[in-house]
Amino acid sequence: MHRLTRDDIEQAARHVYQVMPATAQYAWPLLAQRLGCTVWVKHENHTPTGAFKVRGGITFMHWLTRAHPEAQGVVTATRGNHGQSLALAAATSGLKALIVVPQGNSQEKNAAMRGFGGEVIEYGRDFDEAREEAARLADVHGLYLVPPFHPELVKGVATYALELFNAVPDLDTVYVPIGCGSGICSVIAVRDALGLKTEVVGVVSTEAAAAKLSFETGALCDTASANTFADGLAVRRPIAEAFDIYGAGAARIVSVSDPEIAEAMRVYYTDTHNLAEGAGAAALAALMQERETMQGKRVGVILSGGNIDRPLYAKLIG
């Protein structure tokens, strides 16, 4: 993947802003009181799909219709947010979107993907098995297989990082959740394009720590399972192209447990009255874990999405 320039990201922003406005970043005073540092929250829970990935879907589809005008539609695997973004972007481009989710996937995310015009198929026990089925269906139906990580996805997602760094260029540290890696890679790309010194810290689940293990050993590591309720983090195998970027550009990777994530979700609600899904609260959970070393600093946390089923949220928030 070539190094993104500010021009690349600003061009992507022009496409993104035809579909959605920029999202807000706020320094919430109650979070600052609780944690002893300035906490800027980037509100990617306030996009048309309730998560950051819509940005990548928009730029990817813009690229696809020009690079592959013969494409009749797309197929991809997802736990929800990536699928929603592609369903919305495909519909705006007049293309079909076939979306493969693991069995037992969030019913509310499935309904949202269908609402945006996607056709949803349940297959496999986890994201990685759904990914294999998506590749098979691409061949069967002659659809363009959208990977979970692609330069055009990163370029679109980078628009949120550009918004954040334009608003708050003097952040000491930014915490970013890691699933397949487009979020952290985009933050690193924008930091580097702007020549900033901000530390970028990745966040994974203790139950899906492949990215952390890979980062610490310097080689790609898989895990046998990824059993966390934070489905946006539930990846057993890092994407090699993403690892090449965050392996070199991240300061460290922190792992947070499901109870820590649930506590961060409660804190988001109490201190900001924002709803965060598991992956969306992971960055704040990591900051809470590292609060002693962050005293007095200016910290950004990416609230990457707010898509969580009501019964699960009610159980966790109580």
User: What residues are paired with 302 via a beta bridge?
Assistant: 42
The CATH number linked to 113 is 3.40.50.1100
Catalytic residue among 42, 53, 155, 212: 53
Cβ(179)–Cβ(200) under 8 Å? Answer: no
pTM for this structure?
A: 0.96
More confident residue, 106 or 37: 37
What ranges in 102-250 are assigned the alpha helix state H? Answer: 107-115, 127-141, 151-167, 182-194, 210-217, 240-249
Of 86, 244, 215, nearest to 153 by C-alpha is: 86
Q: Are residue 164 and residue 45 in the same domain, yes or no?
A: yes
8 Å CB contact between 184 and 178: yes
Asked, for residue 26, whether it belongs to a domain, the answer is yes
- Whether residues 139 and 229 fall in one domain: no
Q: Does residue 109 lie within any of the structural domains?
A: yes
pLDDT tens, position by position, 181-197: 999 999 999 999 999 99
Lowest pLDDT segment from 25-29, 76-80, 192-196, 263-267: 76-80
- State the pLDDT at residue 157: 98
Same structural domain, 108 and 43: no
Asked whether residue 48 falls in the same domain as residue 58, the answer is no
Taking alpha carbons only, the member of 272, 286, 268 closest to residue 29 is: 272
Range of the domain at 59: 54-145
Question: Which pLDDT band, with edges at 50, 70 and 90, does 83 fall under?
Answer: very high
Kindly name the residue from 106, 205, 255, 304 that is annotated as catalytic.
Answer: 304
Residues 224-253 pLDDT 10s: 888 899 989 989 999 999 999 999 999 999
225 a catalytic residue? no
User: Quick one: 198 and 243 in the same domain?
Assistant: yes
Give pLDDT, residue 233: 93
* Cα within 13 Å of Cα(213), Cβ side: 15
Instruction: Evaluate whether 302 touches 200 at the Cβ level (below 8 Å).
Output: no
Rg (Cα) of the chain, in Å, rounded? 18
Q: How many domains does the chain have?
A: 2
Answer whether residue 224 is part of any domain.
yes
Which tens digit of pLDDT belongs to each residue from 142-166?
Answer: 999 999 899 999 999 999 999 999 9
Strand 298-303, strand 38-43: pairing:
parallel
Q: Which among 255, 276, 315, 224 is positioned nearest to 42, based on CA atoms?
A: 276
> Does any domain span residue 288?
yes
Q: Count Cα neighbours of 210 within 13 Å in the Cβ-side half-sphere.
A: 25
One domain, residues 238 and 159: yes
- Residue 1 pLDDT greater than 80, yes or no: no
Same domain for 99 and 14? no
Q: Which of 101, 128, 145 is the last residue of a domain?
A: 145
Residue 36 belongs to a domain: yes
**Contact residues for 104 (Cβ-Cβ < 8 A; gap 6+):** 122
Residues 292 and 162 in one domain: yes
Residue 1 lies in a domain: no
pLDDT number for residue 72 = 92
> Roughly what angle, to the nearest 10 degrees, separates helices 258-272 and 310-317?
90
- Using the 3D structure, point to which of 97, 120, 145 is the last residue of a domain: 145
- Average pLDDT of the chain is 96
Tell me if 255 is assigned to some domain. yes
Residues 301, 185 within the same domain:
yes
CA distance 243 to 217: 12
**What is the Cα–Cα distance from 74 to 67, expressed in whole angstroms?**
14
**Residue 128 CB neighbour total at 10 angstroms:** 16
Residue 137 lies in a domain: yes
| Domain C-terminal end among 96, 124, 145 | 145
Mean pLDDT of 264-279: 98
CA distance 105 to 91: 22
231 with 121, same domain: the answer is no
pLDDT at 119: 97
pLDDT tens, position by position, 98-119: 999 999 998 899 999 999 999 9
Domain co-membership, 175 together with 29: yes
**Catalytic-residue membership of 53:** yes
Q: Is 90 exceeded by the pLDDT of residue 269?
A: yes
Residue type, 173: T
In this prediction, residue 208 carries a pLDDT of 94
Say if residue 132 is in the same domain as residue 229: no
